[in-house]
Chains A and B, each alone.
Chain A
Amino acid sequence: MAASFEGGRTTSQLDLESIERSLRRPRTLFSYLMSMLTGAATVVALVPLFSVLYLLVKRGAMALNIATLTSLPPPPMAPGGGFGNAIVGTLLIVAIATILSVPLGILGAIFVSEFGPETRTASAVRFAAKVLTGLPSILAGVFSFAVVVVATGGFSAPAGGIALALLMLPTVLLTAEEAIKGVPARMREAAIGMGATPTQVVTRVVLPTAAPAMLTGVMLAVARAAGETAPLLFTALFSDFWVSGTHPYFLPKTIGDVMKPTASLAVIIYNFSGSPFENQIALAWTAALVLVMIVLAFNVIGQSLAGRSVD
């Protein structure tokens, strides 16, 4: 046992053995083993990530070429083909979702952080946004089906876009709120002191300063939305054709082009994953590789912007 210090006895009587760290002591041994165990758990948890990335490259990179990226999905049994329309469709649907969710998210964040941070409305908005963050993605699809597909009478790219916008909105709002909170108070005060209205303070000082951090949130939301499958299954559905009729033009020419079932990368992976045909399975892996590259690209752009925000 440790020596006591009563009666003027000094450290000479302190039992150094008892405070020395040694693996022979059960306490230290236990601590050491637990550290090893958590380290091992961390390594094990990373195995799936590297397994996924390895297989994506191994099985997906074979068929990755210009033809795959620019041609239409093959029918069963047929060789070749690609998923050009699914890339265009994913970009179109995600663009619609971004156009809808970003302005709403940022305006909401401005209210929550600038105009009424202490109000009940603000705490209600924060709570609603947190609840929406946990909304299962498939229910966003069900909502869009009930509101858009039933009303317009068919599956379409905007129906998919609205479902994705619902998933992006809380992410954009909550990250924009944090970004705006990060703007130093002295900048606001300087603008107010010069007679700027609250609106001018927000649009000329706060938003430009918070822009990089807000863009990070938008990029992360876009990355998540691009990979979502469940909300698209019965809103955008799928299509074996280009968005604009027979030509691989990027932009749809008329409203009618948009208001019809639209292909997406996520859904083609799902459809082809259960296919009995080798060619379609190979295409599913290639589409997965392309989708993951798009998602990771948005993530990396977002992260690099985050490191750049100014004080």
Chain B
Amino acid sequence: MASPRAEQISRPPSLLEVIGNRLFRGSTLIVAWFTVALVGWIVVSIGRQALPSMRAYGLNFLEGTVWDANRSRFGILPAIVGTLYSSILGLAIGAVFGLAIAIFLSEHFLSSAVDSLLKFLGLAEDSWVSWLPDKIEKVLRVTIELLAAIPSVVYGLWGIFVVIPFVRPAADWLHSHLGWIPIFGTGLSGPGLLPAAVVLAIMVLPTITAISRDSLAAVPPKLREAAFGMGATRWEAILAVFVPTAATGIFGAIILGFGRALGETMALAMLAGNSNVISWSLFSPANTLAALLANHFPEADQIEVGALMYAALMLLAITLVVNIVGTVILQRADAGLKGLR
């Protein structure tokens, strides 16, 4: 049988196809640039709306502690302090748990535990259960990811009816017995920083877990083997070798988690109390930039909208810086690990 000639299975593109190709490639290029321009467009459009109130209030806006639309007095210092305080609190809780879970998953604690249980029961050789360890670990991973799938407004609802009643007795006890310590300086009258921070921690946890687990999993096997070969216990290896090697990635994960916490809106609008108070107390009501926007925007008049746009611009500036720093750190982490492989 003769092999087919080139003309039989292929042909040069027709003029129409060449033109279509040019148009299609051009359109993808335009869309690509549109994506880049979108970031600029967001900054410019919010900035332009904020311009009148930037002129009117200047830097006093950042120092003011009153938000009163009736008297046209606007200041966001309590909101900035509240944003940073609640985010750092939430991040501290979320990072501890997130990192613990990342180690738990990347070291395959669960599957090895199930494995030894199966061996103990003498079932390890049976093919109908040998898939169990891997399967259970996958279920755990998906379950952790599900934490991120629950909408924040649902966490807010849960926070109102579960977290606040749950922490309230403890908070009141701490306040009445240890009230001289600034962080217990007030009682929890309902909404407050601590319940908001607890919910924030839940929301940043999946981000921190996912990225840290990836960085821990990317630790080169030869480092692993070397550590164990030198007789390190599992946790000596984790703390002295794996975590330091993955440190840049873990740090990037925490920074990105911080970015999420700074911009998280619903949990704080529902749980922080929306009150312009600056207090060290964990139980005091507070306000954040995002919650301020959520609570005031729907019913704002022209002047207040201007002030809110100014506040939005500040939030945008803070989160952009944090996110860019986090993204750059993660890129560095990726590049750094390449040298070790």
Which A residues lie at the B interface, using CB under 8 A?
19, 27-28, 30-31, 34-35, 37-39, 41-42, 44-46, 48-49, 51-52, 55-56, 59, 104, 107-108, 110-112, 114-116, 121-122, 124-125, 127-139, 141-143, 145-147, 150, 166, 169, 173, 193-200, 202-203, 223-224, 226-230, 233-234, 237, 266, 269-270, 273-274, 284-285, 288, 291-292, 295-296, 299, 303
B:17-64 near A, CB below 8 Å: 17-18, 20-21, 24-25, 27-29, 31-36, 38-39, 41-42, 45-46, 48-49
13 examples of A-B residue contacts, CB within 8 angstroms: A31-B236, A34-B235, A37-B100, A41-B96, A52-B150, A55-B162, A114-B28, A115-B25, A121-B29, A121-B36, A139-B46, A200-B17, A227-B154
Q: Is the CB of B32 within 8 A of A269?
A: no
- Closest Cβ of chain B: how far from A219's Cβ, in Å? 11
- With a cutoff of 8 Å between Cβ atoms, the chain B residues found around residue A46 in the complex are 143-144, 147
- With a cutoff of 8 Å between Cβ atoms, the chain A residues found around residue B297 in the complex are 141-142, 145, 233-234
Q: Is the CB of A269 within 8 A of B101?
A: no
Chain B positions 231 through 244: 1 when the CB is less than 8 Å from some CB of chain A, otherwise 0 = 10111101000000
- Closest Cβ of chain A: how far from B109's Cβ, in Å? 6
- With a cutoff of 8 Å between Cβ atoms, the chain A residues found around residue B161 in the complex are 55, 59
User: What are the 6 A-B residue pairs with the smallest beta carbon separation, nearest first?
Assistant: A136-B263, A227-B151, A134-B323, A41-B100, A230-B265, A111-B28
Q: How far is the CA of A200 from the CA of B12 in the complex (A)?
A: 12
Q: How far is the CA of A46 from the CA of B140 in the complex (A)?
A: 9
Is residue B272 contacting chain A, with contact meaning CB distance below 8 A?
A: no
- With a cutoff of 8 Å between Cβ atoms, the chain A residues found around residue B34 in the complex are 104, 108
Which B residues lie at the A interface, using CB under 8 A?
9-13, 17-18, 20-21, 24-25, 27-29, 31-36, 38-39, 41-42, 45-46, 48-49, 96-98, 100-101, 103-104, 109, 140, 142-144, 146-147, 149-158, 160-162, 202, 205, 231, 233-236, 238, 256, 259-260, 262-266, 269-270, 290, 293-294, 297-298, 308-309, 312, 315-316, 319-320, 322-324, 326-327
- With a cutoff of 8 Å between Cβ atoms, the chain B residues found around residue A150 in the complex are 49
Interface centre among B35, B202, B309 (most CB of A within 10 A): B35
Give which listed residue, A42, A124, A229, A285, contacts B101 with CB less than 8 A. Answer: A42
- Closest Cβ of chain B: how far from A158's Cβ, in Å? 16
- With a cutoff of 8 Å between Cβ atoms, the chain B residues found around residue A110 in the complex are 28
- With a cutoff of 8 Å between Cβ atoms, the chain B residues found around residue A226 in the complex are 151
Q: How far is the CA of A303 from the CA of B138 in the complex (A)?
A: 12
Chain A residue, CB-CB nearest to B30: A107
Q: How far is the CA of A31 from the CA of B266 in the complex (A)?
A: 40
Interface centre among A42, A273, A291 (most CB of B within 10 A): A42
Q: Is the CB of B293 within 8 A of A121?
A: no
Q: How far is the CA of A38 from the CA of B108 in the complex (A)?
A: 12
- With a cutoff of 8 Å between Cβ atoms, the chain A residues found around residue B231 in the complex are 19
Give which listed residue, B156, B234, B259, B308, contacts A134 with CB less than 8 A. Answer: B259
- With a cutoff of 8 Å between Cβ atoms, the chain B residues found around residue A303 in the complex are 142
Contact (A51, B162) CB under 8 Å given A27-B233, A27-B236, A42-B104: yes
- With a cutoff of 8 Å between Cβ atoms, the chain A residues found around residue B42 in the complex are 135, 139, 143, 166
Q: How far is the CA of A227 from the CA of B264 in the complex (A)?
A: 13
Q: How far is the CA of A291 from the CA of B161 in the complex (A)?
A: 18
- With a cutoff of 8 Å between Cβ atoms, the chain A residues found around residue B12 in the complex are 195
- With a cutoff of 8 Å between Cβ atoms, the chain B residues found around residue A122 in the complex are 32
Give which listed residue, B35, B146, B263, B290, contacts A125 with CB less than 8 A. Answer: B35
Q: Is the CB of A284 within 8 A of B157?
A: yes
Chain A residue, CB-CB nearest to B32: A111
- Closest Cβ of chain A: how far from B174's Cβ, in Å? 20
- With a cutoff of 8 Å between Cβ atoms, the chain B residues found around residue A19 in the complex are 231
Q: How far is the CA of A143 from the CA of B32 in the complex (A)?
A: 20
Inter-chain pairs besides A139-B263, A270-B270, 15 sampled, C-beta below 8 Å: A31-B235, A35-B234, A55-B161, A107-B32, A108-B34, A121-B29, A121-B33, A136-B262, A138-B293, A202-B24, A229-B152, A234-B297, A270-B269, A273-B156, A292-B154
Q: How far is the CA of A55 from the CA of B293 in the complex (A)?
A: 29
Q: Is the CB of B265 within 8 A of A138?
A: yes
Q: Is the CB of B31 within 8 A of A28?
A: no
- With a cutoff of 8 Å between Cβ atoms, the chain A residues found around residue B324 in the complex are 131
Q: Is the CB of A55 within 8 A of B38?
A: no
Q: How far is the CA of A274 from the CA of B157 in the complex (A)?
A: 9
Contact (A197, B10) CB under 8 Å given A111-B31, A134-B260: no
Chain B residue, CB-CB nearest to A272: B157
Chain B residue, CB-CB nearest to A231: B265
Q: How far is the CA of A288 from the CA of B158 in the complex (A)?
A: 10
- Closest Cβ of chain A: how far from B15's Cβ, in Å? 11
Give which listed residue, B21, B149, B162, B290, contacts A136 with CB less than 8 A. Answer: B290
Q: How far is the CA of A55 from the CA of B165 in the complex (A)?
A: 14
Q: How far is the CA of A41 from the CA of B110 in the complex (A)?
A: 13
- With a cutoff of 8 Å between Cβ atoms, the chain B residues found around residue A114 in the complex are 28
Q: Is the CB of B104 within 8 A of A146?
A: no
Q: How far is the CA of A223 from the CA of B151 in the complex (A)?
A: 9
- With a cutoff of 8 Å between Cβ atoms, the chain B residues found around residue A130 in the complex are 323, 327
- Closest Cβ of chain B: how far from A167's Cβ, in Å? 11
- Closest Cβ of chain B: how far from A128's Cβ, in Å? 5
Contact (A52, B154) CB under 8 Å given A42-B140, A128-B38: yes
Q: How far is the CA of A138 from the CA of B34 in the complex (A)?
A: 21
- With a cutoff of 8 Å between Cβ atoms, the chain A residues found around residue B9 in the complex are 194
